[in-house]
Amino acid sequence: MEEIIFVDKPSGMSSFGAVARVRRILTQREGHKVKVGHTGTLDPFATGLLILLAGKATKKAPELTKKDKVYEATIRLGATSTTGDPEGEIAETGAAIPTREEIEAILPQFRGEIQQTPPAFSAIKINGQRAYKLARAGKDVEIPSRTVTIYELEIMSYEAPILKIRTHVSSGTYIRTLAEDLGKALGCGAYCTDLRRTKIADYDIAKLPLFELPA
């Protein structure tokens, strides 16, 4: 068999959990174990498009990884999270909440090529181990900064302190880090409360036949 599978991952499920569910369903359907791989993960709290490859299609992984992506994110201003998302320890900063005009004024510095340091709680490997495992163990995690590209960054809505953005980014860009960096630039702190991936390259979740995942 050879299949490209499009999944709308729900919040609370890991990407590897989605892979396992798809593998189980296909294995039952085919009557033998089916190899299933992913072309890029999503954080457990995030929702949206995952592209999975089954059977011989797994050979196409290099063609489908490292693609541009589009996200819609909800950012809470005036507070921080130890993980950059709702799964961490949340702390109010007590700083003044910026106006929409103040937010618009700092957005240009986040468009184009920028330097970004991925979060410690991420799947990046450090000396062969996942960074998030080291972070959870209380170990210091040093991840070098990288150059990423923000092709588009726009405000969808703003009802202080809740900011909703849409952004088109290069592969390797962390939206949790973008949220935190926006908060630092505004002087109030911020973290990502909701995140949804709507596109990978030309694959638009609204126009794709989606594989139904069991609960």
Question: Which residue among the candidates 8, 43, 85, 181 is catalytic per the annotation?
Answer: 43
Active site residue 43: yes
Q: Would you give the end-to-end CA distance of the chain in angstroms? A: 25
Map tokens 């630039």 to a residue: 185
> Distance (Å, rounded) from C-alpha 51 to C-alpha 41?
9
Q: In angstroms, how far is CA 168 from the centroid of its own chain?
A: 12
> Distance (Å, rounded) from C-alpha 97 to C-alpha 186?
9
Strand partners, 14: none
Strand partners, 80: 91
Across the chain, the runs of DSSP E, i.e. the strands, are 2-9, 36-38, 47-55, 69-77, 79-81, 90-92, 112-116, 125-126, 129-130, 146-159, 162-169, 190-200, 203-204
Per DSSP, the chain holds a count of helices (H) and strands (E) of 5, 13
What 3-state DSSP class applies to 49? strand
Active site residues: 43
